[in-house]
Amino acid sequence: MEKINLSDFTLRQKLSMIQFEFKAKKGSYNKFGNYYYRSAESILEALKPINEKYGVYFTINETLINANPPIMASVATIWDCNSQDSIDCQSIVGVDLEQKGMATAQRYGSSSSYGKKYALGNLLLIDDTSDADATNKHGNEPKTVKEKVTMVIDSDAFLKAKDYIDGGGDIAIVETKYKLSEEVKSKLLSK
């Protein structure tokens, strides 16, 4: 990958470009559900070339925020190597202590993996709405086409999209994922 001139961009602009460019394969397979999915590990592996190109690095921190029932917070953070500025996103997951076929450590590990995956997904704008890992009903539900979510001004999605567009991103890309009213579109395009 070609390294960019780091001094020309803020961390928000770098993140916007990374969100546009980033692709992570669904390289893991669930035999029971008969689907492919992406894991936190595959996302992190796909980020390694991005780190060098944009002069950034990523960390993930986890905290048990409630003991009964157990709830974990995972925070994915992108750091700028030059300025040490950072941007983070969080996900919250519960630990199912009644999960059959797993030891307690595996139950926590499974929740940890989901938390990391979704914190990274939030930070990188990975759209998991069509990811079978997020929607699988194991053959019990008919398949339907998911409608686009309507973007709301000042929502997390709006703020991320605004950063993306301000960093040189294309509104057409945002429109592939979200329904935009004329007001939302106008605010996204305003400086």
The pair of three-digit structure tokens given for residue 78, joined into one six-digit string: 């992108």
Q: Which residues pair with 67 in a beta bridge?
A: 70
Distances, alpha carbon 29 to alpha carbons 13, 47, 144, in Å: 34, 20, 22
For residue 129, which phi and psi values (nearest 5 degrees)? -65, -30
> Residue 134: its pLDDT value, please?
46
Ordered domains of the chain (ranges, CATH)? 6-138 (3.30.390), 147-191 (no CATH)
> Residue 133: its pLDDT value, please?
47
Angle in degrees, CA 129, 42, 122, rounded to 5:
40
pLDDT for residue 67 is more than 50: yes
Tell how far CA 75 is from the center of its chain: 11
pLDDT top residue among 191 and 109? 109
Name the average pLDDT for the chain.
84
Closest Cα to residue 168, out of 15, 2, 49?
A: 15
Share of the chain above pLDDT 90, in %: 38
> Residue 73: its pLDDT value, please?
95
Q: Render pLDDT for 92-111 as a digit per residue (tens, 0 to 9).
A: 999 998 888 889 899 899 89
Q: Render pLDDT for 28-62 as a digit per residue (tens, 0 to 9).
A: 888 777 888 888 888 999 999 999 999 999 999 99
